[in-house]
Amino acid sequence: MRIAVGMSGGVDSSVTALLLKEQGHEVIGVTLKFHSVEACEIEGTHHICCSPEDVRDAVRVSQRIGIPHLTIDWERVFRERVIRYFVDEHRRGRTPNPCAVCNREVKTGFLARYLKEVADIDFLATGHYARIEDLEGVGRVVRRGVDGRRDQSYFLSLVRREDLQLLLFPLGNYTKEEVRRIAEERGLEVARKKDSQEVCFLMGKSPGEYLEGVLGRREGIIKHVSGKVLGRHGGFYRFTIGQRRGLGISWKRPLYVVDIDPKTNTVVVGEEEYLYNDALVVRDINFHVPMDMWGGEVLAQIRYRSEPVPVESVRKTSDGYTVKFRKEVRGITPGQVIAFYRGDLLLGGGVIEAPAYGG
């Protein structure tokens, strides 16, 4: 088979290409260049993804294992489809997940369709720690990777169902330690390269610092849910639901961000009990498995590192879908991704619109 491998210059994608080459496939390394800034130029940052340094590493690995390599400069595409989304969502007082959107709009789903058209590939393989397989009556689906600490299926929940037909995840049955050991045994110089950290385009800045450079400083008030003004802030985009640190205010009990109102430039804080709710609204769900085939116990994950929680119901409404949980969950955050699972099977996902009171 003719398989393109999305090579980021890191150990995971490098071993992906190596394994497929050893299996006898025609492998083409493809690296997307999103930035013109070198990681080493950014003070205090060890590594950013998709930089010129990463491109060079991907080229060296491709030469080492004997496959052709192609670099595609998609800095403009990345800026328009991911960075603009990130900024616009924060402007609305939301906390987006740019990595999940990038997987759909740029480096996984969209790239697979692009390479199918221009290079006639059979599949695009990536270094995601997830598994893909055929499910009777459905087609290709995603399952969690066997390495629970590294499982990245959550970030694939927005990838379009039709794009799954073009995707391979060869590392889904490996642990990170096994992948690094394979790289060392084969003499790949990226075997101990550090993983990319944080959101790549922030270039070592915090989200708040980055957004202030784009949106400017916007001072406003911090008020308690009771209405009492407790302090001021330098920009509502510096805050996210559930945040406790960095508020710069004092109160008789610990306070957390419970709401963000960009129209009035107000950050609302309250005690921890205000963070809990048992329902939320999703404007649209990207179904990997049709909802009438979900069956069994459905779990939902509302952040990458959050514990999946049992779902009582998913109800279609005029505003999208209302998701009701069997217990209250902490920190429902507009803009974040909700991923649905049955066991280790990824059923689909969507972007959280808001908590649903009385849902």
| pLDDT value of residue 202 | 87
- The letter for the amino acid at 163 is D
Let me know whether 123 and 256 are in one domain.
no
Report, as residue numbers or ranges, the catalytic residues. Answer: 102, 200
Domain, as residue range, for 286: 275-355
Query: Is the residue at 286 inside a domain?
Result: yes
Query: Is the residue at 208 inside a domain?
Result: no
Query: Is the residue at 54 inside a domain?
Result: yes
Let me know whether 172 and 296 are in one domain.
no
| pLDDT value of residue 197 | 63
Let me know whether 328 and 349 are in one domain.
yes
Spatial neighbors of 127 by CB under 8 A, at least 6 apart, are 6, 8, 10, 12, 13, 14, 15, 16, 169, 171
Task: Going residue by residue through the chain, which has 359 residues, state the pLDDT in tens, using 9 for 90 and above.
Answer: 999 999 999 999 999 999 999 999 999 999 999 877 644 444 444 455 556 788 899 999 999 999 999 999 999 999 999 999 999 999 999 999 999 999 999 999 999 999 999 999 999 999 999 999 999 999 999 999 999 999 999 999 999 999 999 999 999 999 999 999 999 999 999 998 888 767 888 888 899 999 999 999 999 999 999 999 999 999 999 999 999 999 999 899 999 999 999 999 999 999 999 999 999 999 999 999 999 999 899 999 999 989 999 999 999 999 899 999 999 999 999 999 999 999 999 999 999 999 997 55
SS3 labels along 175-221: CHHHHHHHHHHCCCCCCCCCCCCCCHHHCCCCHHHHHHHHHCCCCEE
| pLDDT value of residue 35 | 79
For the chain, the domain total comes to 3
Let me know whether 77 and 155 are in one domain.
yes
Query: Is the residue at 35 inside a domain?
Result: yes
How far apart (Å, rounded) are the C-alpha atoms in residues 19 and 30?
16
| pLDDT value of residue 358 | 57
Looking at residue 102, which CATH number applies to its domain?
3.40.50.620
Query: Is the residue at 210 inside a domain?
Result: no
Let me know whether 86 and 142 are in one domain.
yes
Maximal CA-CA distance, the chain: 67
Last residue of a domain, one of 270, 290, 310: 270
Let me know whether 192 and 310 are in one domain.
no
Let me know whether 194 and 242 are in one domain.
no
Let me know whether 54 and 171 are in one domain.
yes
Looking at residue 266, which CATH number applies to its domain?
2.30.30.280
Let me know whether 30 and 159 are in one domain.
yes
| pLDDT value of residue 50 | 58
How far apart (Å, rounded) are the C-alpha atoms in residues 171 and 18?
11
